[in-house]
Amino acid sequence: MDNRPIGIFDSGLGGLTAVREILTILPREQVVYFGDTGRVPYGTRSRETIIKYARQDVEFLLSKNVKMVIAACGTVSSVARQISQQIPVLFTGVVEPTALAASLATHNQRVGVIGTTATIQSGSYRRALNALNLDIQVFEQDCPLFVPLVEHGFADPEDPVAKLVAERYLAPLKQHNIDTLIMGCTHYPILREVIGNVMGKGVTLIDSGRETACYAAEILRRQNALCPDGQRSDCAFYVSDRVEGFSKAASVFLGQNVGTNVQYIDINAFVPDDGVRIEK
């Protein structure tokens, strides 16, 4: 058993989808969450910048003595994959767990993937799906406006802006007759109703946050690293920009008041030693 917390990071609010699922699946676990709200979004950045940000995010979580790091960010999971071999604790991103769920869900072997521009350009989901099943046809679409919509509160299924953007992005995927759609960014499940209404009932939506949380829980069980019985400590939330806006959104999303548990940090103060923990 291991009573250290689970570390989760993302560029902003999206990783809270994984936090919510972890707290549901593993109610005794404590979570340390870092949302890089000062540098959101990651998906439009260069590969070098994404790697730099990911290195700093991981180093911060390691400073909190976490037993596992979850990169609840499709962009980092796609672009900075080498991190998994270069840190001293358990690690998972979102790509492999989500691709596995999609491969099991599809009936017609036609799977759509939506994600940030960096995620789609990396081809990470296509490779992961084809590694599982070469018969799966993959159709990809980047949706760069989805993250700003979520971060600025345009997620209501009746919001005309959200509906218009979703219809524009998803129209090509509808023409490909997909029966399964990977929401390849953890922000996107917050738009689940909007996306589902556009795609229709015949398309199964795969939630990267939920699938990653389930996968992480299984890893912890196999490694005998779950928290022992007892009362869970309060989760801690850290951001790299204003606390107030994040606190309000997180409280609504998680269904609990997190205001007093959110702190600002200077993420630029966390620079890993090259060759020791994370190599570029």
Contact of 249 with 13, CB cutoff 8 Å? yes
- When pLDDT is cut at 50, 70 and 90, the band that residue 232 belongs to is low
Report pLDDT for 276. Answer: 42
Residue 12: is its pLDDT beyond 80?
yes
Give the CATH number, domain containing residue 127: 3.40.50.1860
CA of 66: how far to CAs of 6, 162, 252, in Å? 5, 36, 26
Q: Is residue 107 classed exposed, middle or buried when 0-12, 13-18 and 19+ CB atoms within 10 A define those classes?
A: exposed
CA of 167: how far to CAs of 132, 148, 161, 171, in Å? 30, 16, 10, 6
Residue 67: is its pLDDT beyond 80?
yes
- When pLDDT is cut at 50, 70 and 90, the band that residue 230 belongs to is low
User: Which stretches within 179-268 are classed as H helix?
Assistant: 192-199, 208-222, 243-254
Residue 279 lies in a domain: no
pLDDT in tens, 235-269: 999 999 999 888 888 887 787 888 789 999 999 99
Report pLDDT for 248. Answer: 82
Shared domain for 133 and 144, answered yes or no, is yes
Report pLDDT for 279. Answer: 42
Shared domain for 116 and 252, answered yes or no, is no
Residue 49 lies in a domain: yes
pLDDT in tens, 91-125: 999 999 999 999 999 999 999 999 999 999 999 99
CA of 69: how far to CAs of 17, 57, 116, 119, in Å? 15, 10, 21, 20
Instruction: Give dist(CA 173, CA 179) in Å, integer.
Output: 10
Report pLDDT for 278. Answer: 46
Report pLDDT for 273. Answer: 60
Which residues are CB-contacts of 16 (< 8 A; sequence separation ≥ 6)?
Answer: 10, 33, 35, 186, 250, 253, 254
Contact of 280 with 53, CB cutoff 8 Å? no
0.85 exceeded by the pTM? yes
Active site residues: 73, 185
CB 233: neighbour CB atoms within 10 A?
13
Residue 280 lies in a domain: no
Residue 260 lies in a domain: yes
Q: Identify the DSSP state of 237.
A: E
Contact of 108 with 179, CB cutoff 8 Å? yes
Among candidate residues 181, 208, 235, the one where a domain is terminated: 208
Shared domain for 154 and 193, answered yes or no, is yes
Shared domain for 172 and 201, answered yes or no, is yes
Residue 43 lies in a domain: yes
Instruction: Give dist(CA 3, CA 231) in Å, integer.
Output: 11
* Domain count of the fold of the chain: 2
Contact of 208 with 186, CB cutoff 8 Å? yes
The boundaries of the domain holding residue 160 are 95-208
Instruction: Give dist(CA 10, CA 186) in Å, integer.
Output: 8
Tokens 């676990």, residue?
29
Report pLDDT for 212. Answer: 93
Which residues are CB-contacts of 227 (< 8 A; sequence separation ≥ 6)?
Answer: 1, 2, 3, 26, 28, 29, 30
Sign of CA dihedral 168, 173, 179, 184: negative
